[in-house]
């Protein structure tokens, strides 16, 4: 009899997952819809859902949206919303994975040098006469940011594993802090010699989605998909690693290999989104923590939920960024921190995050 | 039949030898207890067998040498209970015990119903069923110890390594934990190697004691053979009386240095 009790209990625990995932999916869909409906110009917001339905095959509705207005929605707003969703989901799932693999609630890819490396790469491009370089066949800005981010993490990884004890993740995080401050110093030096680009670099660092095109979406989509799939496949192993490196090893996990793969995947995905949108801070920390407070700390749920709520969060944060100072843009990084920080503090107050 | 064998096991940390040429053979169902002062190399023997530290020499299970690169194979044959297990406080008891099935689950797949059956059996056996939904942070020290043993049992490994299994427990829970291990050993034919500080308890439960000192084996045998006051004085630097109960129990009683 007692066996049936536990079976039903564990079944209960499993049955909650699809419900959470369905709710998460609904939140994303809702936020995407809202994101498509709101903007400084374009058709009346309430006409958009009908127009969207009209584009579903075999459905015909007269929504009263003109062709020009629809183009505005489809070419300006839609790529921006999709890009925000991809970036938000990538940053969040990377943050959640980093926190899992290092068993440290404060790490995300930015901490291992992604942010500083990308920042330095972008700064160098800005100093090279942006007017000419932006017309090259391949825009060097995202490329430089991408390469900068990857190189920074590579240096961190090599230094961290060479000098640190073999399996400790803490050394790696400390190496990341050192590499970050060194790259930031170089960036400051370069900027000081080229003070004319300070404004451009600063605005890049704050992150923006304003110039999003379908091309941007296509550019990062492969990276985001591959990285996310790899991370999601590791979610059960990340749960085993919650008992620490030694015990995970004794339970048959090749801890170093798993950590390397997860760090690589999360870094690659983050570097690709950073290259296109600049540094959008705070997402990789607050979204996974908010998710843990809502659904518990099991990475099997935290990773997929972070993807969904991260997407919804960034789409939502992008709305004030468009309309707050309309027609000017408020940098999305400012909005994520400005909304995110108090929201996060509120969550901390309601539930004890240290558990 | 030999369950686990050590051949010339040597463990070194940064050039300093922690264990030197450790040899032993345990037959199936045997309980060996490693004793010795702090830093004698007891834990290092266990950690080497569990694959947590690099070592020279070899460790074999059923006469098969453990493949160096396979953490999974090792985990299917050796379960390790650390001295201070990491307890993720918001993990549920069920989830925690389920981690013990990891060696049987393929890299990217998840638990089968067989794995869940094993967990249900283990939880039943250790009377943890009523806790299965509880968070680890809400459990007492004795319950946590039982839980860590449950996770080790879920590994279905023939060899169980216990590093200081009772150091964090009160005398009642110490007894309960060791009685539990002993009954599991009898039921399931587990082979057990433990490292312990409490010499009386060590002698009470283990078939055989091995006294280690600075990485070397210095004495071996039954409690009666190993626990002698001159031996303890030599290697622990302790002044203790050894008392023999009529039932064969060997009791080690520390003595105060005489203040006149």
Give the model confidence (pLDDT) of A300-353 as tens digits. 999 999 999 999 999 999 988 888 877 778 888 888 888 777 877 887 776 654
B86: nearest CB among A247, A252, A297: A247
For residue A99, pLDDT over 50 is answered with: yes
Residue A258 in contact with partner chain B when CB distance is under 8 A: no
Q: Give me the domains of chain A, ranges plus CATH numbers.
A: 30-350 (1.10.3470.10)
Could you tell me which chain A residue has the CA closest to the CA of B111? A236
Question: B121 in a domain, yes or no?
Answer: no
Starting at the edge strand that comes first in sequence, how are the strands of the sheet with B216-221 ordered? B78-81, B159-163, B191-195, B31-35, B208-213, B216-221
Gap between the Cα atoms of B4 and B45, Å rounded? 12
Gap between the Cα atoms of A27 and A33, Å rounded? 10
Residues of B in contact with A251 (CB under 8 A): 75, 99-100, 102-103, 155
Could you tell me which chain B residue has the CA closest to the CA of A232? B108
Residue B76 in contact with partner chain A when CB distance is under 8 A: yes
- Its pTM stands at 0.86
Question: B108 in a domain, yes or no?
Answer: no
Question: B144 in a domain, yes or no?
Answer: no
Residue B116 in contact with partner chain A when CB distance is under 8 A: yes
Question: B19 in a domain, yes or no?
Answer: yes
For residue A150, pLDDT over 70 is answered with: yes
Residues of A in contact with B124 (CB under 8 A): 2-3, 6
Q: By percentage, how much of chain A surpasses pLDDT 90?
A: 31
Concatenated DSSP letters for B37-68?
A: STTSSHHHHHHHHTTSS--EEEEEETTEEPPT
CATH number for B215:
3.40.50.300
Per-residue pLDDT of chain B (260 residues), as tens digits, is 678 999 999 999 888 899 999 999 999 999 999 999 998 999 999 999 999 999 999 999 988 888 877 889 999 999 999 999 999 988 999 999 999 999 999 877 888 899 999 999 999 988 889 988 999 999 998 899 999 999 999 999 999 999 999 888 889 889 989 999 999 999 999 999 999 999 999 999 999 999 999 999 999 999 999 999 999 999 998 888 898 988 888 999 988 876 55
Residues of B in contact with A167 (CB under 8 A): none
B120: nearest CB among A3, A249, A296: A3
pLDDT at A3: 42
Cβ–Cβ gap B99/A7 under 8 Å: no
Nearest to A116 by CA among A145, A139, A143: A145
Gap between the Cα atoms of A191 and B74, Å rounded? 54
Beta-carbon count within 10 A of B182 CB: 16
Helix (H) / strand (E) element for B161: namely strand B159-163
Question: B186 in a domain, yes or no?
Answer: yes
For residue A288, pLDDT over 60 is answered with: yes
> Is B125 within 8 Å of B71 (Cβ atoms)?
no
pLDDT at A5: 42
Residue A309 in contact with partner chain B when CB distance is under 8 A: no
A3: distance to nearest CA of chain B, Å?
6
Contacts with B, A 143-202, CB within 8 Å: none
B135: distance to nearest CA of chain A, Å?
10
> Is A114 within 8 Å of A263 (Cβ atoms)?
no
What residues make up the domain containing B248? 2-84+157-254
Cβ–Cβ gap A297/B90 under 8 Å: yes
Residue B52 in contact with partner chain A when CB distance is under 8 A: yes
Question: B200 in a domain, yes or no?
Answer: yes
Residues of A in contact with B123 (CB under 8 A): 6
pLDDT at A2: 41
* Interface probe, candidates B83, B90, B94, chain A, greatest A C-beta count within 10 A: B90
The total number of structural domains in chain B stands at 1
- Name the residue with tokens 């009791």: B251
- Mean pLDDT value across residues A279-296: 88
A164 confidence band (pLDDT: 50, 70, 90): low
Question: B259 in a domain, yes or no?
Answer: no
Residues of B in contact with A2 (CB under 8 A): 124, 129
Cβ–Cβ gap A251/B102 under 8 Å: yes
Q: What is the 3-state secondary structure (H, E, C) of chain A?
A: CHHHHHHHHHHHHHHHHHHHHHHHHHHHHHHHHHHHHCCCCCCCHHHHHHHHHHCCCCCCCCCCCCHHHHHHHHHHHHHHHHHHHHHHHHHHHHHHHHHHHHCCCCCCHHHHCHHHHHHHHHHHHHHCCHHHHCCCCCCHHHHHHHHHHHHHHHHHHHHHHHHCCCCCHHHHHHHHHHHHHHHHHHHHHHHHHCHHHHHHHHHHHCCCCCCCCHHHHHHHHHHHHHHHHHHHHCHHHHHHHHHCHHHHHHCCCCHHHHHHHHHHHHHHHHHHHHHHHCCCCCHHHHHHHHHHHHHCCCHHHHHHHHHHHHHHHHHHHHHHHHHCCCCCCCCHHHHHHHHHHHHHHHHHHHCCCCC
Q: How many CB pairs under 8 A join A and B?
A: 88
Question: B161 in a domain, yes or no?
Answer: yes
Residue A303 in contact with partner chain B when CB distance is under 8 A: no
pLDDT at A169: 66
Gap between the Cα atoms of A150 and A164, Å rounded? 20
Instruction: Write the ipTM.
Output: 0.90
A9: distance to nearest CA of chain B, Å?
7
In chain B, which residue ranges form alpha helices assigned H by DSSP?
Answer: 42-49, 71-77, 93-98, 113-125, 141-154, 171-188, 199-205, 223-226, 229-236
């Amino acid at each position: 009899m007692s066996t049936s009790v536990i079976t039903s209990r564990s079944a209960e625990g499993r049955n909650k997952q699809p419900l959470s995932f369905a709710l998460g999916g609904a939140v994303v869909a809702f936020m995407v819809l809202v994101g498509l409906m709101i903007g400084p110009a374009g058709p009346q917001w309430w006409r958009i859902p009908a127009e969207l339905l009209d584009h579903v095959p075999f459905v015909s509705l007269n929504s009263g949206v003109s062709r020009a207005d629809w183009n505005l929605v489809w070419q300006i707003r839609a790529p921006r919303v999709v890009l925000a969703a991809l970036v938000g989901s990538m940053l969040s799932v990377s943050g959640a994975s980093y926190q899992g693999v290092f068993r440290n609630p404060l790490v995300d890819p930015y901490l291992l040098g992604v942010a500083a490396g990308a920042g330095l790469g972008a700064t160098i491009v800005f100093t090279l006469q942006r007017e000419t370089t932006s017309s090259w066949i391949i825009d060097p800005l995202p490329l430089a940011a991408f390469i900068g981010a990857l190189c920074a993490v590579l240096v961190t990884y090599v230094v961290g594993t060479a000098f640190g004890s073999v399996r400790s993740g803490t050394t790696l995080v400390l190496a990341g802090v050192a590499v970050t401050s060194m790259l930031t110093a170089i960036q400051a030096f370069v900027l000081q010699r080229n003070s004319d680009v300070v404004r451009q670099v600063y605005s890049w660092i704050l992150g923006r989605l304003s110039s999003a095109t379908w091309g941007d979406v296509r550019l990062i989509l492969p990276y985001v998909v591959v990285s996310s799939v790899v991370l999601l496949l590791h979610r059960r192993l990340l749960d085993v690693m919650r008992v620490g490196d030694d015990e995970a090893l004794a339970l048959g996990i090749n801890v170093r290999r798993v950590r390397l793969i997860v760090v690589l995947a999360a870094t690659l995905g983050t570097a690709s989104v950073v290259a296109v949108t600049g540094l959008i801070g705070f997402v990789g920390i607050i979204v996974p923590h908010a998710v843990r407070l809502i659904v518990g700390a099991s990475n099997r749920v935290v990773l997929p939920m972070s993807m969904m709520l991260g997407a919804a969060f960034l789409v939502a944060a992008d709305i004030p960024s468009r309309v707050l100072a309309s027609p000017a843009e408020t940098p999305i990084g400012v909005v994520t921190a400005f909304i995110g920080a108090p929201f996060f503090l509120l969550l901390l107050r309601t539930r004890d995050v240290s558990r | 039949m030999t369950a686990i064998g050590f051949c010339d096991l040597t463990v070194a940390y940064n050039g300093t030898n922690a264990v030197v040429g450790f040899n032993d053979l345990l037959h199936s169902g045997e309980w060996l207890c490693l004793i010795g002062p702090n830093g004698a190399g007891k834990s290092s023997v266990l950690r080497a067998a569990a694959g947590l530290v690099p070592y020279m020499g070899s460790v074999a299970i059923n006469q098969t040498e453990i493949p160096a690169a396979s953490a999974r194979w090792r985990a299917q044959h050796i379960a390790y209970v650390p001295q201070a297990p990491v307890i993720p406080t918001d993990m549920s008891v069920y989830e925690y015990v389920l981690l013990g099935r990891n060696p049987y689950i393929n890299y990217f797949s998840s638990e089968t119903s067989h794995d869940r059956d094993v967990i249900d059996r283990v939880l039943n056996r250790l009377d943890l069923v009523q806790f299965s939904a509880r968070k680890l942070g809400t459990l007492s020290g004795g319950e946590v110890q039982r839980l860590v043993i449950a996770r080790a049992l879920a590994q279905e490994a023939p060899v169980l390594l216990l590093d200081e299994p009772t150091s964090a427990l009160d005398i009642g829970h110490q007894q309960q934990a060791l009685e539990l291990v002993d009954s599991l050993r009898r039921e399931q034919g587990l082979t057990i190697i433990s490292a312990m500080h409490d010499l009386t308890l060590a002698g009470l439960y283990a078939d055989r004691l091995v006294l280690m000192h600075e990485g070397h084996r210095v004495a071996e045998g039954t409690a009666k053979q190993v626990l002698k006051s001159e031996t303890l004085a030599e290697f622990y630097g302790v002044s203790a009386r050894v008392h023999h109960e009529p039932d064969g129990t060997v009791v080690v009683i520390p003595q105060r240095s005489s203040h006149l």
